Chain A
C-alpha cells in the first residue's frame, strides 16, 4: 500500500508529500484544534507542522508518519511563541471586541462546558487528556508523544480530570 511505503522511505518528491498530507491532514487538524480550541490557529499550526515534516522527510526516513505527525502537532502547540507577524496578521482580521460573526455550530460548540474546562488546564495536563481520551493512546504512547515519562502522563491525566471535576462539578457531567 502506498501509505505504508511512505512509512519506510523518504518523501522523495512532491507527489509523495501530497499523499502524506492528504492522509494525515485532517487528523492532525483535529488534534491541533482540541489542543488549542481555535480552528484558525489549529490550521495555522498544522500548516507549520507539515512544512516541518516535509523538511524532515526529505532528509530522513520517517518510520511512523502518523505518530511522527502527532508528536509534531503536540510540539507545535506547545510552542508558545509564534512568529509575531503571523499572529498580528490574524489579529488584524478582527475588529474591536466583536471578533467576527460566529456560526451556529461554533456557538453550539462553545456551549460545551467540558471543552471549556479542558482549556483551563495547564498545557501538559490538557495535552495528556486529549491524547488519552481523544486519540485513545495508551499511557506509554502518550508519554512517547509528549516526551515525558509514563508517570508524568498518569499524574497529568489524573490532575487534569480532578481539576475539570472541580471546575465543572461532578453532577454536571
Chain B
C-alpha cells in the first residue's frame, strides 16, 4: 500500500509535469544539433585536437573505424630572404615578392575582378592587376610553384599557367582550367571543349613542365550538357576527385592505375546528396573534404543547410577496379553552415581551400582577423578549412568553430609551407616542442590476504600513478583490484574491473581524506558483513593513510556519508560534519542545521546574534527570519530557498575562512573570485546543489563571484550571515 509520502511525490510530480509546455522552437534546435552532433563526433571519437604553432593538425572523426586526420603537408622550404626575392614588378610573376624581408607569402587569392592578390604572413595584401582574368590559384606542395587559370574574357576558354614563385617566370601549360597539384608535385587540370560535343577531360602530368602522362574523360557516359570542376587529388597521389554532371551535380573519382583510367561515379551514403566542392585530405588516401550545398533550404539566396564534411571510399573502390560501376562512399558532416553571419551567395562562384597553415588570429572578442597587429595567437586556433564566396570568407578552425575572415576573395590557395608564427617571432618555424613526459609516482595499494583469520590484514602492492594527484591515483588503482598474478599469489579484494569507475572524488583537508563513491559502490557483494566491512575499510584506509597528509578518512556514496556507513552497518566518523571546527562554531552549526531541516523558524530566530550584526537579503528589513520564511516560496531556477540551502551547506560541505576569520559555507565563497576555486571546490558546489548547482556555478563564474547562498559563523560561534547574491554589490 502506498505511503503518504509516495502519494505526495506522485501528486507533486504530476502537477509539475502538467505545467510543462513544449517549446515549438525545439524542433528547429534538434535539426541544428543533428548537424552539430556530427561535428561533435570529432571530440567524441576520442581524437585530440593537437595543434602546435608550427604544424596545424586538425583531427577529424573516425570514419568506418579509421581515424581521419587532416594534416597539412610540411615541406622544409625556408622563408624567402631579400636576396631570394624576385623583381617586384607589378606582374603576376611578382606574387609574394613584395612581402617584406621578415615577412613571407602566405596565400594567394583570386578576386571577383579576376586578379590575383598575394597576402603576406603579416596580413599585407599585394594585388596584381592584369588585363586578363586569373582565377583558381593552386600552390605546389613545396610552395615554389603556383598554377592558375587565365582567361582573356569571362566566357573565353581558359589556359593553365604555371608561375615559378622564386624566379617570377610564367609558363603556359595549355588549354584547361582548375589546376590541382598532387602531393608529390604532380599536376592535373580539366580541359573543356565547349560546344563541340567533346567530353571534358582530365590531363595528368607527373611533372608540371614535363610530358602529359594521362588524359581521360570525366564521364563514363557523357551527357548532352555537362560541366566538370573542383578537381582534387587524394593524399596518396593515386586518385583524383572531381565534380561533374549536368549542372555540376555528382561526385566522381578515378584511380590513376585503373584501366583508362576509368571515371567512376561515387554513390555516397550518410547524407552527401548533391552539388559539392571538393578538396582532398592531404594526409589520408581515399578521402576528400567536401563542401556540399546539398539539401539546401533556401531563404532567398541564403543557404540554410549547407555543410562541410569528409567523404571516404571503402572496399573495392579503394583498390580502383576500374570497372566504371558506381562505387560506395561514406560521407560524414563536420560543420554546418546554417548559421553563417553572412550567408554564402549561391549565385556566384564559391571556393574552398585547405588552410592548415594559414596564419589567422583572433582578436579579443574572438573574431578571426588577418595577422597584422593582432595581439593573440591562440594555439589550437589554426584553421583547417576555408570556404567563401565573393562577399565573405569563413574558416573552420581547429575546434570546429566557424569564423569569418575579414577578406573578400573568389578563390584562395594557401602556401602549404607557410607556418603560423606568434607575434614578434621571426618567420623561421620554431622547432617542435618536446613532448612532455608525464610525471608519475610509485604508490602502494593494499589488498586482503587469502587464508588469514584477521579480516583487516592487508598487503601492499606497488602501482605507478600520475602525479600530483597521487591519492586519487592510488584509490583508482585500488578500485581496479589485484592483477590475475596477484590474485594467484593470494591477494583478495572487494575490488575488480567492475568497481574501477566508481570513484567520484577525493578531497584532503587538514588531515582528513573525504572520498566520495558512486552509489553503485553500495552494490559490492559481501562488504556489509562484519568481517567484510572491516576488510573493505582496511583496503581503503591503508591505501589512503600511506600518505602523510591523511590521518582520517570519511567515505560517502554520492555525497551521502550516512549512506556509506549505514550500508556497512557501521557508525559514521564523529567528525564527518566539519572536522576541526572550533567547539563554539560546531555548537552553532548543529542547531542551525537542525532548525533548517525542521523549518523551525522560531529556533532560527533564537540563533540570531544578540548584537544585531547579521546580514540577510532583507532589503533593509529587520526581521530576517520573516525574510527567510517568505524566501522559501521564492526560489528560482538557480538557487533553492534559504533553509534548504543552509541545510545543504552545513550538512554537506566543508567550510572555508573569510579574511575576517569567519567560517563560511561553501568554502568557495571565501575565494576572491571563481577563478580561484579549486576543481574540488567547484565540483562540490555542483554536486551539493544538485540540479541548481551547475547553472549557479556557471552564473557565478560569468559574473565573477559566488552568487549562491552562503552562511557564515564567526569564531565565537555567532551566526553572522545567510545571504545570496552579489557580495560586491551587496544585493
Q: Which residues of B contact A2 (CB under 8 A)?
A: none
Q: Is the CB of B726 within 8 A of A152?
A: no
Checking A18, A54, A91, A123 against B558 with a beta-carbon cut-off of 8 angstroms, the contacting residue is A123
The stretch of B101-109, B311-319, B402-410, B515-523 in contact with A is B515-523
> Across the two chains, which residue of chain A brings its CB closest to B697?
A87
Cβ distance B403 to chain A, nearest Cβ, rounded Å? 14
Say yes or no: A148 contacts B30, CB within 8 Å.
no
Q: Mark A141-173, 1 if CB is under 8 A from B, else 0.
A: 000000011011001100101001111011001
Taking chain A's interface residues, is the majority helix, strand, or loop, or is none over half, making it mixed?
helix
In the complex, A69 has a CB within 8 A of chain B = no
Instruction: Kindly identify, within residues 68 to 111 of chain A, every residue whose CB is under 8 Å from any CB belonging to chain B.
Output: 80, 82, 84, 87-88, 90-92, 94, 96-97, 99, 102, 105, 107, 109-111
A167 vs chain B, min Cβ distance (A): 6
| A119 x B640 contact (CB < 8 A) | yes
Nearest CB of chain A from residue B263's CB, rounded to whole Å:
30
User: Which residues of A14-52 have CB atoms within 8 Å of chain B's CB atoms?
Assistant: 18, 21, 25-26, 29-30, 33-44, 46-48, 50-52
Assuming A110-B635, A120-B690, A170-B5, is B30 touching A47 (CB within 8 A)?
yes
B558 touches A114 (CB 8 A): no
Q: Is there an interface contact between B6 and A161, defined as CB atoms closer than 8 Å?
A: yes
The count of chain A contact residues (Cβ–Cβ below 8 Å) is 78
B605 contacts the other chain (CB 8 A):
no
B563–A159 CB distance below 8 A: yes
Cβ contacts under 8 Å, A155 to chain B:
522
Known A54-B34, A94-B699, A167-B644: A42·B20 in contact at CB below 8 Å = yes
Q: Are B37 and A55 in contact (CB under 8 A)?
A: yes
B638 beta carbon closer than 8 Å to chain A = yes
Whether B725 pairs with A97 at a CB distance below 8 angstroms is: yes
Give chain B residues whose Cβ lies under 8 Å from the Cβ of A48.
33
Please state if A51 and B690 are interface contacts (CB–CB under 8 Å).
no
Say how far A134's CB is from chain B's closest CB, in angstroms.
Answer: 4
Residues of A within 8 A of B725 (CB): 97
Residues in B neighbouring A6, C-beta threshold 8 A: none
Interface membership of chain B positions 612-637, coded 1 if the CB is closer than 8 angstroms to chain A and 0 otherwise:
00000000000000000000111111
Selected contact of A87 from candidates B17, B640, B695, CB within 8 Å: B695
Sample of 11 A–B contacts (CB below 8 Å): A47-B29, A50-B30, A54-B34, A91-B698, A96-B729, A115-B13, A116-B644, A133-B6, A161-B6, A169-B598, A173-B8
Binding site for A on B (CB under 8 A): 3-6, 8-17, 19-20, 22-23, 26-27, 29-30, 33-34, 36-38, 519-520, 522-523, 558-560, 563, 597-599, 632-638, 640-641, 644, 647-648, 686, 690-692, 694-695, 698-699, 702-703, 707, 724-726, 729, 731
Inter-chain pairs besides A42-B20, A107-B633, 20 sampled, C-beta below 8 Å: A38-B695, A40-B637, A41-B695, A43-B23, A47-B33, A51-B33, A51-B34, A82-B694, A88-B698, A91-B695, A105-B19, A109-B19, A110-B636, A120-B690, A125-B558, A134-B13, A152-B520, A156-B519, A159-B560, A169-B598
